[in-house]
């Protein structure tokens, strides 16, 4: 059976994630943006020849050139388009630079009982959240989107997106293989220049979480399940 994964965001995080998953899943890559000169220092899947071209299409071509299967869709991820963009996927990964999109992806995954990974990077660090049905979700921890600086506003060290993207890809592959070690946990990398190990943040489901209340497999329906500690 073919494994299908959707990656939302084809930039600094989406690039390494897509290339890492190229041989493990059939990919749909969603991004509304085009390649700009300012992207090239951290989005290594692109070159000057890609300037002005849709990121999703060019990243899909890079995956295909490496022997994978990928389709690029030049569009924004929205609640209205979510079913069409991700309806048949086994796993969805958010690699965008927009808090509202991250919550939208996580909420859709929870409501549809899908595996999901949410990745973020800014300045010198970042975080990765691994979601599976039946455990505390992304909204249990962060509750609602907030106004926050983006990479365009605050910048990000080029190697950081590669490192965080690699962790997100590894987490995704683990979830697809049935590894639930970090299910419902956030791996926070505070400053990769000084400390390479993450803080592992584990938390209980939030009793009033609206996403969990709508989930087909809700952590609120039974006592919280203890998540196995990592090695």
Catalytic residue among 89, 140, 151, 209: 151
- The number of residues making up the chain comes to 231
* Cβ pair 98, 145 in contact under 8 A: no
CA 81 to chain centroid, in Å, comes to: 18
Burial of 98 (0-12, 13-18, 19+ CB in 10 A): middle
* Cβ pair 31, 11 in contact under 8 A: yes
Which token pair is 75? 């569009």
Which token pair is 213? 């209340």
Within 10 angstroms of residue 189's Cβ, the number of other Cβ atoms is 21
Please tell me whether residue 81 adopts helix, strand or coil conformation: coil
* Cβ pair 75, 54 in contact under 8 A: no
Catalytic, 151? Answer: yes
Q: Which residues are catalytic?
A: 151
């Amino acid at each position: 059976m073919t494994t299908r994964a959707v990656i939302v965001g084809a930039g600094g995080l989406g690039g390494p994630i897509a290339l890492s998953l190229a041989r493990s899943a059939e990919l749909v890559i969603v991004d509304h943006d085009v390649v700009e000169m300012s992207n090239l220092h951290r989005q290594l899947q692109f070159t000057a020849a890609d300037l002005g071209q849709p990121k999703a299409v060019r990243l899909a071509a890079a995956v295909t050139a490496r022997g994978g299967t990928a389709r690029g869709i030049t569009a924004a991820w929205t609640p209205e388009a979510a079913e069409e963009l991700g309806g048949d996927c086994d796993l969805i990964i958010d690699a965008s630079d927009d808090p509202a999109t991250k919550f939208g992806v996580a909420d859709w995954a929870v409501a549809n009982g899908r595996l999901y990974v949410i990745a973020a990077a800014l300045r010198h660090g970042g975080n990765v959240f691994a979601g599976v049905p039946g455990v505390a979700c992304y909204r249990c921890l962060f509750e609602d989107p907030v106004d926050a600086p983006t990479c365009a506003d605050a910048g990000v060290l080029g190697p950081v997106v590669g490192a965080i993207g690699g962790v997100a890809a590894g987490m995704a592959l683990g979830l697809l293989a049935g590894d639930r070690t970090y299910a419902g946990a956030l791996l926070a990398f505070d400053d990769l220049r000084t400390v390479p190990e993450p803080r592992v943040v584990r938390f209980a489901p939030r009793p009033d979480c609206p996403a969990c209340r709508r989930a087909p497999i809700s952590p609120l329906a039974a006592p919280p399940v203890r998540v196995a500690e990592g090695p």
